[in-house]
DNA sequence: CCCTCGAACGGTACTCAGTACCATGGTCGT
DNA sequence: ACGACCATGGTACTGAGTACCGTTCGAGGG
């Protein structure tokens, strides 16, 4: 027995013990003992006690970075909302493991904080990518980048949490829908916008809203 | 000498030592020694080594909670963007202290993570407030609440960081401007929207974009 | 003036996470 | 059979955080 690599056995032992006694009540020695390995081996496989639950955020972050670097999308926001799908797919791929982790992070503040910190790293990556893509160091452009990154991450989190709670049958479809929602929040501004050469366009379309409700949006769309 | 209460002297000693040797290179014993108190007294005043830098996030969180509970604004988003001003004002009130903390959180990952976790608590509070205010348990409403909370927090962070870096002379004006930006992202939907009775509206407006670029946005605006 | 109560303090001893170092045993290629 | 290279286990250490206990000091109350 105990043929499987130590890394796997350690994770199994950790999750089992966390379920039985709770996270704080479980020591690293306990985990190592149940896994049938030495304490040293634990820390060789996982940098910390928390890390045994969040295995490969770094790897995933690199994956996202690559995806962004090699992406050829029309806008930064599209590229980012495409990249964030990878994160969701990764969680879905983990399946039950992700759900068990969710159960833990919901109860243990230290783990919740760690999860949040990880997500913040994605958000930062997105923010920097968008800001760089826009190439506009203005404060207002920077704010826009920040808002976009935050929206994408928030939408992702929303869908992910729904799936983790078992409230979602088709998270991939949901995330696409959510990203459309996010996209709609940030209408694309073409370069000439708000500047001198403004032509006149007349568009006819159907809407249930009355004109007063529609006007502010349109004004935002067209003006600066 | 050493008349000032231990709590103050500990904080002073901590900041001084962190500046001199760095955060990780400073032990709690060092801080206590320089403050002229025992190690026990340190932990009586601050729950952890990190806490000496982030004194009163809990108090501020309660303040925000109260503000939201007693707020009478037209929309949840307005109430929240009003509440978040309190956070900014609190930082500004701290003045140089906030800037020194920023210098530390920029360099020490553990502190950055802690800061992020604190911010996440505000965001969570906002999200729950907005969701409750809307009283609509739909997934789409929930997403909307999540997006709003994220946007408000992102906008706040943007202004705060600018001020912390000394890039902003009038952060209060900036945060108001940023909040207007956020407000504009989420146009108020009138009750009948998206339902059966679809009329036809013809709107004329000026734009430098050509029609092809404009069409997808308009379609998104009207269809869903 | 003395006594008591309580709060703040200092010290000791403990648990546990994380690090550094070293010694051992097995596996591979040659 | 030899040495090189791993992964592993063990020991010892640092430092954060907790529990407990004895002391001191100051504010009343008799």
User: Would you state the torsion angle of the CA atoms of residues B28, B29, B32, B35, taken in this order, to the nearest 10 degrees?
Assistant: -110
DSSP string, A161-224: HHHHTT--S-HHHHHHHHHHHHHHHSPPPPTTTTSS--EEEEEEEEESS-HHHHHHHHHHHH--
- CA-atom Rg of chain B in angstroms: 23
What gap in Å lies between CA B156 and CA B81, rounded to an integer?
9
Q: For chain A, positions 100-129, list CB contacts with chain B under 8 A.
A: 112-114, 116-117, 120
Scanning the structure block, which residue is given the tokens 């983790």? A164
Per-residue pLDDT of A133-144, as tens digits, reads 998 889 889 999
Give the residue-averaged pLDDT of A138-165.
96
A161: tokens are 């949490």
Q: Residue A16 pLDDT more than 60?
A: yes
Q: What is the mean pLDDT of chain B?
A: 86
Query: What are the distances in angstroms from CA B55 to CA A24, A177, B52, B67, B91?
Result: 25, 41, 6, 20, 12
Per-residue pLDDT of B121-147, as tens digits, reads 999 999 999 999 998 889 889 999 999
Per-residue pLDDT of A45-79, as tens digits, reads 999 999 999 978 888 999 999 999 998 888 898 89
What gap in Å lies between CA A43 and CA A52, rounded to an integer?
10
* Model confidence band, residue A195 (pLDDT cutoffs 50, 70, 90): very low
Closest CA to B165 of B83, B105, B119: B105
* Model confidence band, residue B73 (pLDDT cutoffs 50, 70, 90): confident
Prediction pTM value? 0.82
Which element (helix H / strand E) includes A33?
A: helix A28-35
Q: How far is the CA of A52 from the C1' of C21 (A)?
A: 24
Does any CB of chain B come closer than 8 Å to the CB of residue A142? Answer: yes
Residue A212 has a pLDDT of 55
* Model confidence band, residue A6 (pLDDT cutoffs 50, 70, 90): confident
Q: Which nucleotides of C are covered by protein (CB under 7 A)?
A: 8-12, 15-21
Of the candidates B117, B195, B220, the beta carbon closest to that of A184 is on B220
* Model confidence band, residue A211 (pLDDT cutoffs 50, 70, 90): low
Q: Residue A17 pLDDT more than 60?
A: yes
DSSP string, B183-208: HHHSPPPPTTTTSS--EEEEEEEEES
* Model confidence band, residue B5 (pLDDT cutoffs 50, 70, 90): confident
Q: Which of A47-51, A104-108, B179-183, B188-192 has the lowest mean pLDDT?
A: B188-192
Question: Inter-axis angle of helices A139-164 and B171-185, to 10 degrees?
Answer: 50
Domain boundaries, chain B: 1-52, 56-195
User: Under CATH, to which class is A56-195 assigned?
Assistant: mainly alpha
B200: tokens are 């036809």
What gap in Å lies between CA A101 and CA A70, rounded to an integer?
31
Does any CB of chain B come closer than 8 Å to the CB of residue A218? Answer: yes
B1-52: CATH topology: Arc Repressor Mutant, subunit A (1.10.10)
Q: Residue A198 pLDDT more than 50?
A: no
H helices of chain B, in order, are 6-21, 28-35, 39-45, 57-69, 76-94, 96-107, 109-134, 139-164, 171-185, 211-222
């Amino acid at each position: 027995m105990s043929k499987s690599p130590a890394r796997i056995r350690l994770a199994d032992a950790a999750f089992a013990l966390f379920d039985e006694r709770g996270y704080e009540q479980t020591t690293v020695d306990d985990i190592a003992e149940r896994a049938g390995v030495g304490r040293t081996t634990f820390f060789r496989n996982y940098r910390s006690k928390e890390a045994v639950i969040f295995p490969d955020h770094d790897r995933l972050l690199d994956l996202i970075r690559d995806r962004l670097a090699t992406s050829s999308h029309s806008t930064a926001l599209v590229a980012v909302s495409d990249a964030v799908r990878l994160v969701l797919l990764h969680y879905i791929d983990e399946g039950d493991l992700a759900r068990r982790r969710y159960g833990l992070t919901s109860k243990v503040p230290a783990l919740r904080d760690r999860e949040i910190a990880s997500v913040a790293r994605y958000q930062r990556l997105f923010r920097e990518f968008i800001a760089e893509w826009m190439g506009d160091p203005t404060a207002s452009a920077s704010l826009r980048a920040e808002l976009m990154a935050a929206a994408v991450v928030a939408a992702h989190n929303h869908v992910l949490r729904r799936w983790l709670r078992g409230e979602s049958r088709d998270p991939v479809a949901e995330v696409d829908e959510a990203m459309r929602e996010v996209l709609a929040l940030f209408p694309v501004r073409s370069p000439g916008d708000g500047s001198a050469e403004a032509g006149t366009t007349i568009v006819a379309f159907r809407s249930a809203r009355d004109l007063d409700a529609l006007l502010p949006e349109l004004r935002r769309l067209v003006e600066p």
